[in-house]
Structure 1
Amino acid sequence: MQFKGLEKTSLIEWPEKAVAVAYTGGCNFRCPFCQNQDLVLNPEKLPTISEEEIINYIDSRKKWLDGLMVTGGEPSIHPSLFNFADKVKEKKLDFGTETNGTNPKIIEKFLKENLIDRVALDIKAPLRWKKYKKATGTNDKKLLKKIKKTIKIIRNSNISYEFRTTVVPKLLEKEDMLNIGAEIQKTENYYLQQFVPENTLDKEYENLEPYSEEKLKEIKKLLKENYGLKNCKIRNL
């Protein structure tokens, strides 16, 4: 398996753990607000890091690292992800992945083989096709059904997980966020991520003004009060 980046230490991706973060190239979505433009559109132009380099690095830092998170792009589009996770677990380190949820089969396989310890799933919009199509730039309606299945699988698992949504003004209004809240009621950890208008796939989004801190706090309050999202938090303020 090949990677396109490595963050050597992160204290954000996995609460109460220090992990390295490896980046895969390529994605099956074209979210207009995505800030990983090169990873999504031109991964072949980026330097490549082999899985051996990643494994050797985290193995050499066992005293300081608890594990590895794999993000992207979209990691689940790579068939070799499962075998890579197996190699990480052989080193007695935790393994997690960030995903858009479009490959429930690999999450099921991870859970069945006890090869995953954490999943972070990006919910791009309310789980309705018109909204999701606009937020993700995809025409494959079947993917929404798969995302719903992945959400259910994760919620019924016993691993660490979080759901999160980047609150993009052009795509998501307060009502949309409340609709998401209704769909994931009582989820343990849900994060509202502040939109940053930089290096976006669709350049028009770089002209958007992010929601104010007050607006995000208002949404967070409503989600907590109405949908049991007691650990709803805001990132990137």
Structure 2
Amino acid sequence: MQFKGLEKNSLIEWPGKAVTLTYTGGCNFRCPYCQNKDLVLDPEKIPSIDGEEIIEHLNSKKKWLDGLMVSGGEPTIHRPLLNFAQRVKEEGFEFGIETNGSNPEMLEDLLGGDLLDRCALDIKAPLNGEKYKAATGTDDGKLPEKVEKSMNLLRESEVSYEYRTTVVPKLLVEKDLIDIGKEIQETENFYLQQFIPENTLKKEYEKVEPYSENKLKRIRKRLKDKFGLKFCKIRNI
């Protein structure tokens, strides 16, 4: 399997773990605020890294690394990910992915094969068709249903997971975030991610002013008080 980027050491992606982070090219979404536009739109222009090179790196740092996190783009559009996950596990490392939740079948295969130890799932908007279309730049009316299935798979599994939402003012108002709270209440971990208006897929989003820190903190408090979220934090502030 081929990858399009590598961070050899990260203490951020997987709380409590030291991991290597790698990126797959290509994505089935076109989120207008996405900051990985080269990975999404032009992955063929980015030099490839062979999966075996990543395995070699993991083994060379076996004393210090706990595992591998695969981000994107969107990892689950690549069917060879299953075999690669198996290789990582065979070498004695934990394996995780960051996903948009649009491919519950792949997620089910990873879980069913005991290949997944950690998953971060992006919830782009409340689970209704129009909001999801706007947030993802797609016309797939079944996306909310697919994302909900992925959410439930994680909730019913024994893997470490988090849900997260990037708070983009042009796309999400406070009510939308409360609606998301209704859909994920009592979840293990939920992060509100501050939107950063830089290098976005659609240039107009670079002019969108993020919500203030105080507003995000107020929304977080409402979510925790109203829905009993066990762990709700804000990132990127």
Q: Tell me the TM-score normalized by structure 2.
A: 0.99
Q: Take 2:91 and 2:176, find their aligned partners in 1: how far apart are those partners?
A: 42
**1:222 matched to which residue of 2?**
222
Q: Alpha-carbon deviation of 1:144?
A: 2.2
Q: Take 2:62 and 2:194, find their aligned partners in 1: how far apart are those partners?
A: 32
| Deviation readout 1:75-126 (Å, 9 max, x if unpaired) | 0000100000000001100000010001111111111111110110000000
What does 1:69-108 align with in structure 2 at a 5 Å threshold?
69-108=69-108
What does 1:1-237 align with in structure 2 at a 5 Å threshold?
1-237=1-237
1:234 corresponds to which letter in structure 2? I
1:20 corresponds to which letter in structure 2? T
Unaligned residue ranges in structure 1 (runs of 5+)? none
Three-state SS of the structure 2 residue aligned to 1:101 is coil
Q: Take 1:85 and 1:143, find their aligned partners in 2: how far apart are those partners?
A: 25
1:146 corresponds to which letter in structure 2? K
Q: Take 2:103 and 2:163, find their aligned partners in 1: how far apart are those partners?
A: 16
Three-state SS of the structure 1 residue aligned to 2:84 is helix
Q: Alpha-carbon deviation of 1:230?
A: 2.6
Three-state SS of the structure 1 residue aligned to 2:124 is coil
Three-state SS of the structure 1 residue aligned to 2:121 is strand
Q: Take 2:33 and 2:79, find their aligned partners in 1: how far apart are those partners?
A: 26
Q: Take 1:137 and 1:58, find their aligned partners in 2: how far apart are those partners?
A: 36
1:3 corresponds to which letter in structure 2? F
Q: Take 1:215 and 1:143, find their aligned partners in 2: how far apart are those partners?
A: 29
Q: Alpha-carbon deviation of 1:56?
A: 0.5
Q: Take 2:111 and 2:140, find their aligned partners in 1: how far apart are those partners?
A: 26
Q: Take 1:210 and 1:96, find their aligned partners in 2: how far apart are those partners?
A: 29
Contact 2:3 2:51 in 1 (8 A): yes
Three-state SS of the structure 1 residue aligned to 2:224 is helix
* Corresponding pairs, count: 237
Three-state SS of the structure 2 residue aligned to 1:201 is coil
How large is the RMSD of aligned CA atoms in angstroms? 0.6
Q: Alpha-carbon deviation of 1:142?
A: 2.0
Contact 2:10 2:20 in 1 (8 A): yes
| Deviation readout 1:39-96 (Å, 9 max, x if unpaired) | 0000000011000111110111111110000000000000100000000001100000
Unaligned residue ranges in structure 2 (runs of 5+)? none
Q: Alpha-carbon deviation of 1:151?
A: 0.6
Three-state SS of the structure 1 residue aligned to 2:135 is helix
Contact 2:129 2:142 in 1 (8 A): no
Identity of aligned residues (%): 66
Q: Take 1:56 and 1:198, find their aligned partners in 2: how far apart are those partners?
A: 34
Name whichever of 57-66 and 142-151 sits farther off: 142-151
